[in-house]
Amino acid sequence: MTPPRPRQPDEHPDGIELPLDPLPGHSSRGRLERVLRRGEFAVTTELNPPDSADPEDVYNRAKIFDGWVDGINAVDASGANCHMSSVGICALLTRMGYAPIMQIACRDKNRIAIQGDVLGAAAMGVANILCLTGDGVQAGDQPGAKPVFDLDSMSLLETVRIMRDNGKFLSGRKLTTPPQLFLGAAVNPFAPPYDFRPVHLGKKIAAGAQFVQSQYCFDVPMFRTFMNRVRDLGYDEKCYILVGVGPLASAKTAKWIRANVPGIHIPDAIIKRLEGAQDQKKEGKQLCIDIINEVKEISGVSGVHVMAYRQEEYVAEIVDESGVLKGRQPWKREARSDDQRVAERLEHILHDDVTESQVDMVKTAH
């Protein structure tokens, strides 16, 4: 029999799907908060949501991140394109013990629906929520939809914080059990008004943000300027900042993204570097690793958020080659010794064609 594996850090001994024990000073019972509060360099990534009703699609897409990331973002119809909902993805992921970061976009739901979803998600074991404004409907595949935008990212943060800390709905009605959550927000230091952006981060912290994930960073000097200002204001001590990074597939895609996806800033130097490369895909990956190596040295940066849309298979390589984990292995779904025993016994019952009488069983047992 295989020896029982050592218990992984941040895992409930009675079952991987159970919430962790509450720790003092922690607002959630999730793994991501523990990693960040321990001061370890965190890695999060994004799951490409399937256009299907098959749970296996979600599990297969999550499996490739096993052992490389501390959190998986379940996107809420990003780019206003319809996919499986973030609530649905989180329901599936929490069953398997993953640590999803549930994104909520204000585009599709009003405050009644959002508060209900927050309670439902927390009940399923979602420990992290990322509050977003969301892209406009004109960007997606159904531009005729009604844009809701009842709340904005800031008032959404505040709403969830009130539910968690005051145990109340926005209306003041009491919750019997408040949700225990780690609250996140998004920042984009690469879009104007540039001098407002650091202050805007401060506003998000005031509204309740405990961690932020940034938009794709391709311009490190620009990010450095932003971080200098953030450090001057002392915001890096009040919230964990994860830098968004990702590989570009080719110079052509980079140009397309720059022209068509609002809010992503790609300097000419990056495109030139990609164009000059023999294997553009490989160069794109290398570029991402180089950017990670640069930003991880900036003080105040607590982790990276690797967004490899349709290149998810490279996330593990990028994390490995950049060495940000420093030998640490994030949680990974593994069979424990008791699971192993059950599996062996089942194997025996199902496949070994034995017809034992009770008398024989007693004899073999002694």
Partner 1 sequence: MVDTQPTVTQATLVKKAAPKSDYKPADVSPQRRVQRSYTIRLWSIRHSRLLEWFYSRFADMFLLLHPLWKTIGYGRVEAPIKFVEKRVKGLMFDCRMCGQCVLSSTGMSCPMNCPKQLRNGPCGGVRANGNCEVEPDMPCVWVKAWEGSRNMVKGDAILNVQKPVDQSLRETSAWLRVTAQAAATRETASKEAA
Binding site for partner 1 (CB under 8 A): 81, 106-107, 111, 133-136, 138-143, 147, 149-155, 158-159, 170, 186-188, 191-193, 195-196, 199-200, 202-203, 206-207, 215, 251-253, 255-256, 262-263, 265
Amino acid at 345: R
Dihedral sign of CA atoms 218, 194, 148, 72 in order:
positive
Phi, psi of 332 (to 5 degrees): -145, 140
Rounded Cα distance between 88 and 185, Å, is 21
Helix (H) or strand (E) holding 306: strand 301-306
Please, is 142 exposed, middle or buried when counting C-beta atoms within 10 Å of its C-beta (0-12, 13-18, 19+)?
exposed
Rounded Cα distance between 58 and 64, Å, is 11
Question: By C-beta, is 4 or 262 nearer to partner 1?
Answer: 262
Shortest Å, Cβ 269 to partner 1: 16
Shortest Å, Cβ 247 to partner 1: 17
Of 197, 203, 134, 121, nearest to 160 by C-alpha is 121
Shortest Å, Cβ 93 to partner 1: 24
Helix (H) or strand (E) holding 71: strand 71-74
Question: By C-beta, is 115 or 302 nearer to partner 1?
Answer: 115
Shortest Å, Cβ 265 to partner 1: 7
Question: By C-beta, is 155 or 340 nearer to partner 1?
Answer: 155
Shortest Å, Cβ 94 to partner 1: 27
Helix (H) or strand (E) holding 146: none
Question: By C-beta, is 121 or 205 nearer to partner 1?
Answer: 205
Question: By C-beta, is 61 or 200 nearer to partner 1?
Answer: 200
Shortest Å, Cβ 225 to partner 1: 16
Question: By C-beta, is 126 or 209 nearer to partner 1?
Answer: 209
